Structure 1
Amino acid sequence: MSVQDDQRENQMIDRFNLEVPENRRRSDIDAYLTVDGQTVPFELKSATSKGVSTVRDLGPNHFAKWKNIHWLFGVYDRTGTRLLHSYYGSPDDMAPWITEKERYVGPDVELAEHAMRGVSADSVINLLGEKEFYTKEEAKWIMKNQWTAARYLEAADLSAGKELGYSLDRMVELMRERCYYVMSRGATLNNPHIPLSYIQNMPKITTEPAIELRRLVRDYLASS
């Protein structure tokens, strides 16, 4: 996230009186709104004349994350520093756009899953030889930096003295996961923009933003 994007996001958080968890990572939910004891997740975006940018690699993980997300789109002046007004997008408002993008990448996702299912014990044996015990180094050769040290430890299902290792069946699982990861990297869209014409059909917030947002969210929750 650029410095300007970060500043805009913080401005929207302040204006709408939203909550942000401590130690939030970039992949986490942007902010939350508490309404009548219910915690509502929000995605925060700023709009330009070209529309609203999304993410660099839009794919299955984002579609799953966005199914029940509420959205706030901030429209700024030409300098990009002053928030003029905003649009509120409920999950229902965003569903057509998300569904369209999900359908577009659907064939590529199925191809990745099909390739993953094709990985077998022979795939591991052809690469590493047939063994009863595969080392952590061999597992890391397959998974690269995709896993954390804790994940390698958790996945180990064998031990030889102090050394933890992996069975043939577990290595098949590793290779399938890596295969899906590699293939699914291509099953993404590079930062598709949400057109301004799309968000301009949503409720517009100009005055008393915190109060108006809560009213809109309450109305949505009551009708859903």
Structure 2
Amino acid sequence: MPVQDDAREREMTQLFNLTVPENRGRSDVDAQLSIDGKIINFELKSTTSSSVSTVRDFGPDHIRKWREDLHWIFAFYDRSGTRLKHCIYASPSDMEPWIANKARYIQPDLALADALPESVSSTMVTSLLGAKRYYSFDDAKWIMKNHWPTEALRDEQDHLEGYSLEAMTKLLQVRARYVILRGSTLNNPHIESGFFKDLEQIKDEHASRLRSLVRSYLASA
């Protein structure tokens, strides 16, 4: 994460009195709120414009993650990125129309990713690697590249002498699906300014106001 983005995220965490999960990884939630016996997960985003960038490669994994009862806080800064103007809280129900719109956009590609790999046959394996009784680990690595770690790739070996034609065909099908899914991602879809027009701007008493908004959402949900 860029240094400036990291500083803004720390400011948001402190401003709303949130906690950062221990051993947080790149794909984990940004912050959490403990309220009324519940743990609320948050995605934190900041911007120096009227729209908000999201992720570089938006795809099915993000759709799943963002629909798992994830709450959002957006921080809007001045052009210099140093002065916070206001923040906006968005509940899972607030975010759902935007997520659904992006999910529908990539839906045809996801359908292809589910259907087309089945057409990858053993004939394609033999055309790439020749007809062999068993294929080597290097053959499997050549097919999968760096898609899987070594341990996972070795787990697919189904014979002491290597990989059968059936096992290699399965690997090539998995690779095909991965390649199609990579092509189905959106490059950093923005949440445009119009999305925020009906959401409350939080300018003071950030921590208490957030808890009030979260409680209202939980009561309605």
TM-score, normalised by the number of residues in structure 2: 0.90
Number of equivalenced pairs: 220
What pairs with 1:1-224 in structure 2 (closer than 5 Å)?
A: 1-67=1-67, 68-160=69-161, 165-224=162-221
CA change 1:20–1:157 in 2 (3 A) is: farther
- Please list the CA deviations of residues 102-139 of structure 1 after superposition, one character each: whole Å capped at 9, or x if unmatched: 11111122223222121122222322234443222111
- Please list the CA deviations of residues 156-212 of structure 1 after superposition, one character each: whole Å capped at 9, or x if unmatched: 33324xxxx333332222111111111111112111110122123223322221222
Instruction: Tell me how far 1:14 sits from its aligned partner.
Output: 1.5
Q: Is the 8 A contact 1:89 1:203 kept in 2?
A: no
Cα RMSD, aligned residues only: 1.8
TM-score, normalised by the number of residues in structure 1: 0.89
CA change 1:167–1:31 in 2 (3 A) is: farther
Aligned residue type for 1:187: S
Q: Is the 8 A contact 2:16 2:210 kept in 1?
A: yes
2:160 alignment partner, SS class = strand
1:212 alignment partner, SS class = helix
Identical amino acids, percent of aligned pairs: 52
> C-alpha distance in 2, partners of 1:104/1:221?
29
> C-alpha distance in 2, partners of 1:131/1:157?
14
Aligned residue type for 1:196: S
CA change 1:32–1:159 in 2 (3 A) is: farther
Unaligned runs of 5+ residues in structure 2 are none
- Please list the CA deviations of residues 54-74 of structure 1 after superposition, one character each: whole Å capped at 9, or x if unmatched: 111111111111112111000
